[in-house]
Amino acid sequence: MTRPINVVVLGATGSIGQQTLDVIDRNPGRFKLFGLTEGVRSTNRQAEFLVQGKAGESDFDAQVEAMVTDPRCDLVVVAIPGARALMPTMSALKAGKEVALATKEVLVMAGALVMKAAAGRAQGAFPIAKSIRPIDSEHSAIWQCLWGEERENVRRLILTASGGPFWAHPDLDLDQVTVEQALNHPRWSMGPKVTVDSATLMNKGLELIEAHHLFGIPLDAISVSIHPQSVVHSLVEFVDGSLKAQLGRPDMRLPIAVALAYPDRLPDAVPPTTLSELSGLEFQELDEKRFPSVRLAREAAATGGGHPAVLNAANEEAVNAFLGREIPFSGIVRTVERALSAFTGSGGSLDQILEADRWTRAYIRNESGSLRAT
């Protein structure tokens, strides 16, 4: 019998991290928790490496580096929220590790560089995401639809979006909605950052950039469809007119199980979906006027350089300001838009991308008075 796969979980105390530990616990012969990082809370876990603290602190970063590059480590699950996940992801890829990626910001900020670091082991295979296993449910769905397919046969990717808590209420004034309303997601249970991102639809904007890099599909061949039931997790359209979709209940343990076990599948990772649950599926066109995030993200990615990193950092800062009740909900997207038009830097190298990230956060702090007034 082959030995269990040694898994490192970065961000073990978050929502994805906890569910990853759950998948590992339920498959003890297959996976072993080799290392983990904890935030303020403890997971009470035993592992070869246990790193406590926050990414960005030098002690924490050095220990994470040692853990993800250790020769015994096989697979690194990246579930630290936000831009702080970028450096550990790059370290793991450069050390030749398999990476299961939950943090979309990594690909949004530095997609070209990250995919280049991953490509060494992909050997030109399609989908390139073989070397980075996506945990984001939409990208896991697309990845599964693409298994065994050729790049030239793919015409379009369709990302589904639940629409978040405000989509179905067109009369709501988005200047007035509260933090509690924004955190009340109708389908998925997730951390506060991604929950607010689904309410602004910025989550889908970030996912569009993520899909573009992961699967090497042009930005204008990726569209977004509102699908309130969150049963169809995303679709691929092929040149012959065929559509492939991946369906199931909204349960993140499935994409986590797929990423951990690839190319195998874990028995009973989630309860099966019954056909009666699939009746009444709806799909609607995205209202880009009320929710301009997807357009902003597409434009930032098309401009390239440091712009996607600015989009991401401005959004992170603005979401925090909204959660801190400093700006209104609609101020999030306005803040992102202002940072993008003020940015004049570049972003071809990792240093330039990190500089674009720092510039954006400083810009927002300096401008916070006038941004609050918007």
Piece of 107-115, 128-136, 155-163, 239-247 that binds Mg ion (CB under 5 A): 128-136
DSSP-assigned letter for residue 192: H
**Position 85, amino acid:** A
Q: By C-alpha distance, which of 288, 331, 251 is closest to 163?
A: 288
With binding defined as CB under 5 A, does residue 136 bind Mg ion? Answer: yes
Q: What angle do CA 151, 153, 159 make, to 5 degrees?
A: 80
How far, in whole angstroms, is CA 282 from its chain's centroid?
A: 24
Q: Spell out where 198-242 has E strands.
A: 222-226, 232-238
Minimum distance from CB of 185 to Mg ion (Å)?
A: 12
Shortest Cβ 138–Mg ion spacing (Å): 5
Query: In degrees to the nearest 10, what's the CA dihedral of 172, 317, 336, 193?
Result: -50
Question: Are the beta carbons of 338 and 371 closer than 8 angstroms?
Answer: yes
Angle at 198 between CA 347 and CA 271, to 5 degrees: 115
Q: Residue 317 interacts with Mg ion (CB under 5 A)?
A: no
Q: Which C-beta is closer to Mg ion: that of 43 or that of 195?
A: 195
Is 180 within 8 Å of 164 (Cβ atoms)?
A: no
Q: Which one of 77-85, 131-139, 169-177, 247-255 is the stretch in contact with Mg ion (CB under 5 A)?
A: 131-139
Buried b (16+ CB within 10 A) or exposed e, 254-282: bbbbbbbbbeeebeebbeeeeeeeeeeee
Determine whether 66 is exposed, middle or buried from the number of CB atoms within 10 Å of its CB (0-12, 13-18, 19+).
middle
Nearest approach, Cβ of residue 10 and Mg ion (Å): 18
In angstroms, what is the minimal distance from the CB of 180 to Mg ion? 22
Q: Going residue by residue from 138 to 157, which x/- string records binding to Mg ion, judged by CB under 5 A?
A: x-------------------
**Can residue 210 be called a binding residue for Mg ion (CB under 5 A)?**
no
In this complex, which beta carbon is closest to Mg ion, that of residue 33 or of residue 332?
332
The encoded tokens of residue 167 equal 């989509």
The CB-of-140 to Mg ion minimum distance in angstroms stands at 9
Identity of the residue, 63 or 140, whose beta carbon is nearer to Mg ion in the bound complex:
140
Q: Least separation, in Å, of the C-beta of 125 and Mg ion?
A: 24
Closer CB to Mg ion, 255 or 306, in the complex? 255
Considering the complex, state which of residue 63 and residue 137 has its C-beta at the smaller distance from Mg ion.
137
* Residue that is written with structure tokens 């042009």 in the block: 218
Rounded least distance, CB 44 to Mg ion, Å: 29
Residue (205 or 306) nearer to Mg ion, CB: 205
Q: Which candidate, 81, 75, 52, places its Cα nearest to that of 64?
A: 52
Q: What part of residues 170-209 is at the interface with Mg ion (CB under 5 A)? A: none
Give me the phi and psi of 235, to 5 degrees please: -140, 160
The full length of the chain comes to: 374
Say if CB 100 and CB 79 are below 8 A apart: no
Tell me the site size for Mg ion, rule CB under 5 A: 3
**Min CB(210)–Mg ion separation in Å:** 9
Taking CB atoms, the residue at the shortest distance from Mg ion is 136
119 vs 183 by CB, closer to Mg ion: 183
By CB under 5 A, which span of 130-138, 153-161, 331-339, 343-351 interacts with Mg ion? 130-138
d(CA 253, CA 268) in angstroms, rounded, equals: 10
Q: CA 341, 217, 337: angle at the middle one, nearest 5?
A: 15
- CA distances (Å), origin 151, targets 134, 145, 209, 237, 312: 18, 12, 18, 12, 28
Instruction: Supply the minimum distance, in Å, between the C-beta of residue 272 and Mg ion.
Output: 22
Binding flags for Mg ion, 272-291, as an x/- string (CB under 5 A): --------------------
Which range of residues in 42-50, 107-115, 132-140, 233-241 is near Mg ion by CB under 5 A? 132-140
- Comparing CB distances to Mg ion, the nearer of 291 and 359 is 291
Binding-residue pattern over the window 248 to 267 for Mg ion, x denoting contact by CB under 5 A: --------------------
User: Which segment (29-37, 135-143, 299-307, 347-355) binds Mg ion by CB under 5 A?
Assistant: 135-143
Give me the residues that bind Mg ion (CB under 5 A), please. 136-138
